[in-house]
Chain A
Amino acid sequence: MDAVQLAAVLAAAVLLASMISIEIGLSVALVELALGVVFGNAFGLNANSDWLVFIANFASVVLTFLAGAEVDPDDFRERFGISLAIGLVSFVGPFVVAGLAAYGLLGWSLKAALIAGTALSTTSLAVVYAVLVETRLNETRIGKLIMSACFVTDMATAIALSAIFIKPNAWFPVFLVVSVGLIVGLPKLAPWFFGRYGDRVIEPEIKLVFACLLLLMVLADAAKGHAVLPAFVLGLVMARHYQQHRSEQQRMRVVAFAFLTPFFFVRGGLNVSLGAVFANLGLLGVLFAAKMVPKIALILPLARHHVPEHATFTTLLMSTGLTFGTISSLYGLNAGIIDRTQFSLLVTVVVLSAIVPTAVAQHWFSPDAEAERAASRERQSHSHTGGRRSSNEPATAGEGA
């Protein structure tokens, strides 16, 4: 199958994924992954076509940038100490246990074990966010605490992925200096640049961000590293700007979700071998346990001490994973650190960790959202700090009239 034919088939797959996602209420990324698995295993499509690898790699960096840019800095101040503690143990526990399990029990190479540790240490801020918004807990103390802790874990994952596999060479200082320069410079340049050139259909502001991310990718490649950390931090320092210019963020999301990220997730699915997964169900169980057991064992005591009424809910949501786990696994596959069987197992565990703890938390441990919101409102009125009105606050009597 030539490049154009492959593109046409995958375009049909991502279109189908969008339609299925809307109809059944499942995230489009998960459906894209699933259709990638189906198309890859049924038709043997080439997941390593040059154009597809490039778009998927670029999409992973854009996704990382967006993950940083979507953080609301104001949400991450409340109870930062405990958020930091939960976020760090949420990363370190599974990183060590999954890494040791892969290295010692499964006999993976050291580097492959480090990829396993990184991929399985993640927490999905997006999965958690959807649960919190749906229950309207995102504006409560417990919601903000969980999101802060997820952010800390994401940051630790980005640092690990960037730091562990780097092989410093002559390009490394250049990569470092340019990364710092962009992180410091872009937020300062953005207001002027976006003001002068923005709000046009030719989208110079999106092109500027893409150019910065591609520059980071080129230099990271030359430095034998990964652009995930500077991309995440670059997104983070741009978050305030995007908060004030929501339409820019929306247009960026449109470009990313319409063209880039679908190919990232479909390619992830294309590389999953169902045969390898079913032939290694025992290993799958070991890896799943290597993620879940340390998460639960380490987070639950902390959560019981600091948020006793929501300890299990907090622990389960901190045990989720999706995007960063997939990014880490695909990085390992692209770099030749893990093989297709190892990749298939890691991605399957990552997807399971998005679904299983979330479903359990929602069905059996969801807090009384109404009581939480009332408590949060009471605390706010006592502290006289005021507060933003959430976009998902219910309309009050007569509103909309």
Chain B
Amino acid sequence: MSPYEFTNVLVALDGSPGAAKALDCALSICSAVDAPLTALAVEGKLPAYAASLGEVDEIKRHKDEYFRGVLTDAAAQATTRGVELKTDLVPGHAAELITHYARAHGHDLIVVGHRGHFLGDYLLGSTADRVAHNAHCPVMVVR
């Protein structure tokens, strides 16, 4: 078997136009090779050193609502295109979590958008760069 026969694909979503393109591309691949797809939404970090539980709770709630919406849209697209989709929502640092998650769940291809939402993408290099650098498996960066 070729090492590039993808059987367990992961796409990272953050609601950005780049991630939408990544989802479209991942669905095409999974549809073509009949592989299941996992859509992982990473919420980004919560405010560090908060002074009130309320600040953390409210930001977490907003993030949950937003990213559940993103995953709902992804699930609708997957259904339309006949791809088996699993969704997961995790808080934390995007690049670290995507690579860790892919390794932990045995994914053999990671699909990410070229540029996400976060200011850090502009200041520190994109999440896609860091995923590509640290991943254990092939990474497709979609423009």
Q: Mark B64-79, 1 if CB is under 8 A from A, else 0.
A: 1000110110111011
Distance in angstroms between the alpha carbons of A133 and B56 in the assembled complex? 9
Q: In the bound complex, what is the Cα–Cα distance between A377 and B69 (angstroms)? A: 27
- State whether the Cβ of A2 lies closer than 8 Å to any Cβ in chain B: no
B119 contacts the other chain (Cβ, under 8 Å)? yes
Judged by a CB distance under 8 angstroms, whether B85 is at the interface is yes
Q: Decide yes or no: A126 and B50 within 8 Å by CB, A392-B60, A401-B75, A401-B79 being known contacts.
A: yes
Chain B contact-residue range equals 35 or more
Q: Would you call A355 an interface residue if the criterion is a C-beta within 8 Å of the partner chain's C-beta atoms?
A: yes
Q: Are A401 and B72 in contact (CB under 8 A)?
A: yes
Contact B47 A392 (CB under 8 A): no
Are the C-beta atoms of A125 and B60 separated by less than 8 Å?
no
A323 CB within 8 Å of chain B: yes
- Determine the distance from Cα of A398 to Cα of B86 in the docked complex, in whole angstroms: 5
Docked-complex contact B90 and A394, CB < 8 angstroms: yes
Assess A129 versus B56: contact at CB under 8 Å? Given A30-B51, A395-B68, A400-B71.
yes
Q: A126: which of B55, B78, B86 is its contact (CB, 8 Å)?
A: B55
Contacts of A398 in B (CB 8 A): 75, 85-87
In angstroms, how far is the closest chain A Cβ from the Cβ of B41? 8
A400 & B72 in contact (Cβ 8 Å cutoff): yes
* B47:A25 contact, CB within 8 angstroms: yes
Q: Name the interface residues of A384-399: CB closer than 8 Å to any CB of B.
A: 391-392, 394-399
B48 touches A67 (CB 8 A): no
Residues of A within 8 A of B51 (CB): 27-30, 63, 124, 126, 261, 265, 322-323, 326
Q: Is the CB of B87 within 8 A of A126?
A: no
User: What is the interface size of chain A, counting residues whose CB is below 8 A from a CB of the partner?
Assistant: 47
Q: B93's closest neighbor in chain A, by CB?
A: A134
Check B52 against A261 for contact (C-beta < 8 Å).
Answer: yes
Q: Is B92 an interface residue (CB 8 A)?
A: yes
Residue contact A391 to B61, C-beta cutoff 8 Å: yes
Q: A399 to B44, alpha carbons, bound, how many Å?
A: 20
Interface residues of B in 81-114 (CB under 8 A from A): 85-92, 104
With a cutoff of 8 Å between Cβ atoms, the chain B residues found around residue A391 in the complex are 60-61, 64
A248: shortest Cβ distance to chain B, in Å?
12
Contact B55 A29 (CB under 8 A): yes
In the complex, chain A residues 44-86 whose Cβ is within 8 Å of any chain B Cβ: 63, 66-67, 70
B60 with A133: CB separation less than 8 A: yes
From A72, which residue of chain B is reached at the shortest CB distance? Answer: B53
A27 touches B68 (CB 8 A): no
Contact between chains at B92 and A135 (CB < 8 Å): yes
Bits for B31-58, please: 1 = Cβ < 8 Å to A, else 0.
Answer: 0000000000000111111111111111
Residue A392 contacts which of B64, B85, B88 (CB distance < 8 angstroms)? B64
**B60: chain A residues within 8 A (beta carbon):** 133, 391-392
Checking A126, A261, A326, A355 against B56 with a beta-carbon cut-off of 8 angstroms, the contacting residue is A126
Task: Kindly specify which of A159-167, A250-258, A285-293 makes contact with the partner chain.
Answer: A250-258
> Contact: A136 with B91, CB < 8 Å?
yes
A250, A261, A370, A396: the one contacting B58 at CB < 8 Å is A250
Contact check, A29 vs B50: say whether CB atoms are below 8 A apart. yes
Residues on B with beta carbons closer than 8 Å to the beta carbon of A28: 47, 51, 55
Q: In the docked arrangement, what's the CA distance between A18 and B91, Å?
A: 21
**A399 and B71 within 8 A (CB):** yes
CA distance A398 to B29 in the complex (A): 19
Is there an interface contact between A27 and B50, defined as CB atoms closer than 8 Å? yes
Give the residues from 339 to 360 in chain A that come closer than 8 angstroms, CB to CB, to chain B. 354-355, 358
Which residues of chain A come closer than 8 Å to B48, judged between CB atoms? 25-27, 30, 130, 358
* Distance to closest chain A CB from B96 (angstroms): 12
Spell out A's residues near B (CB within 8 Å): 21, 23-30, 63, 66-67, 70, 124-127, 129-130, 133-136, 249-250, 253, 256-257, 261, 265, 322-323, 326, 354-355, 358, 370, 391-392, 394-401
Task: List 12 contacting pairs A-B, 8 Å CB cutoff, sorted by A.
Answer: A26-B49, A66-B54, A70-B52, A70-B54, A125-B53, A130-B50, A130-B56, A135-B92, A256-B54, A322-B49, A322-B51, A399-B87
Given contacts A29-B49, A66-B54, A253-B58, 13 further A-B contacts (CB under 8 A): A24-B119, A26-B48, A28-B47, A66-B52, A67-B52, A135-B92, A136-B90, A257-B54, A322-B50, A355-B49, A394-B90, A400-B87, A401-B78
